A and B are shown apart, each in its own frame.
Chain A
């Protein structure tokens, strides 16, 4: 049991983080707790520290509107935390939709849908196009475009304030990931994930790979939801340099030889592994 927990330590921690944040928000609405009020779009910690979704704020700007100083400060705080420190951890440690897409991914593997899949028809760069389209649509319609259709917000807001028909969109994402494209939403389409990928390009907390310890079993590449971020495995000791890594820690958990570790990004060895 303990060994099992230890083996899945980051998974357990991630679920505690995701569910815990969710529960604090729900308690904020139902019980009036002041630890976290609002939701992932805008919130306050202890009724004091503002937190705002920086991508949402940028969309408001794109829609030719201004936000209050508080919202701006909240967005800066979030951006600083992930951009300087935690990397794209929002996606795997905070986002509630990650629970849904992880379930779809797990079922995909269990049911053998994975083998059936073939090459996904969507590029992983589609999310960056989605960012551009979000801003353009915001400009044309005058409202923050992604905030109106985001399945993340639908699920998150739904759990706190009442789901309505929002479950339909969440189910659609689940089925898309299960039946159509592996890691379809989080790894290909989600502009918020794309935004965090770009914004956390230079963050400090990284998975570090040690070539000397690597046995080339390739389990890390097998389990990684964004495997393009691990080109150095077995060939170069370096930090993961891509912002697309969500710091989920799956590669560390599966590595039997201790070749993967969380750490501070080392810039000295941080070269392009394709060159080395």
Chain B
């Protein structure tokens, strides 16, 4: 367009550009606020998902918040988070102290999920014919953790309520006989959790007799550490495999001193 020749056109175009710029600005402000809000909202990590839930990050993306899993639970144990619940809104979770997972064999919650946020292959095993069969014992809702300071069994008082409540009893939760040093003549029946079998169903947490449960479920990522491959159980063949993954070179966060350690001793500073 020739400049100046068409006086009417320029303001029109400028008006359009200005309104576009305004909209773009509003969209940016809105988008950034929105992003900030969501980044804060999805940061809750201490949430116990239904059996077969994919990793939390994928779960948050895939779950459409339809609540079909909540409706499918015959014990009404699953809760759909509502605003103010301090959980990502509209997503399903357990509150074990109130209503734990009963580990149904047909896993109706997982089977009902329409989006794949609950993945039945994660809670299935191949049977003899190679067909995948649901196996609730594979579920990893979380991991039971015992607070030994408030657990009365660790005080020496006889209590095996959690042990009795455990649906994977003697595998996920065992009772160890420990000498009671205080009396010198009694045994303590100390409950111990085994992460290889604990499904995090929460039956122990609900059963616990203390005011606030001394055994409770945490998401596995929160409850467990992770050993580095620098430390190997040399007495365990399977564990020694991990040595192959250990890096040759050592990297440290802070640079090593180039000086010899002897130097400062000989500098007369002492």
- Is there an interface contact between A153 and B116, defined as CB atoms closer than 8 Å? no
A129 at the interface (CB under 8 A from B): yes
Instruction: Kindly report which residue of chain B lies nearest to residue A189, judged by CB atoms.
Output: B30
A163 CA / B66 CA spacing, docked (Å): 14
Of the four ranges (under 10, 10 to 19, 20 to 34, 35 or more), the interface on chain B belongs to 35 or more
- Is there an interface contact between B67 and A29, defined as CB atoms closer than 8 Å? yes
- Is there an interface contact between A41 and B80, defined as CB atoms closer than 8 Å? no
Q: Inside 8 A of B70's CB, which chain A residues have their CB?
A: 29, 161
Contacts A160-B67, A161-B67; A129 near B62 (Cβ below 8 A): no
Q: Inside 8 A of B88's CB, which chain A residues have their CB?
A: 148
How distant is A58 from chain B, measured CB to nearest CB, in Å?
Answer: 12
A65 CA / B59 CA spacing, docked (Å): 10
Contacts A28-B71, A65-B58, A142-B57; A161 near B82 (Cβ below 8 A): yes
A43 CA / B38 CA spacing, docked (Å): 25
B168 at the interface (CB under 8 A from A): no
- Contact partner, B68, options A38, A56, A60, A165, Cβ 8 Å: A38
Could you say which of B41, B62, B115 has the most chain A C-beta atoms within 10 Å of its C-beta?
B115
- Is there an interface contact between B82 and A164, defined as CB atoms closer than 8 Å? yes
A154 CA / B67 CA spacing, docked (Å): 13
Instruction: Kindly report which residue of chain B lies nearest to residue A28, judged by CB atoms.
Output: B71
Q: Inside 8 A of A142's CB, which chain B residues have their CB?
A: 57, 60-61
A222 at the interface (CB under 8 A from B): no
A116 CA / B270 CA spacing, docked (Å): 85
Instruction: Kindly report which residue of chain A lies nearest to residue B33, judged by CB atoms.
Output: A137
A interface residues, Cβ below 8 angstroms from B: 28-29, 32, 37-39, 41-44, 50, 52-53, 56, 60, 63-68, 70-71, 74, 123, 125-126, 129-130, 132-133, 136-137, 140-145, 147-149, 153-154, 157-158, 160-166, 168-169
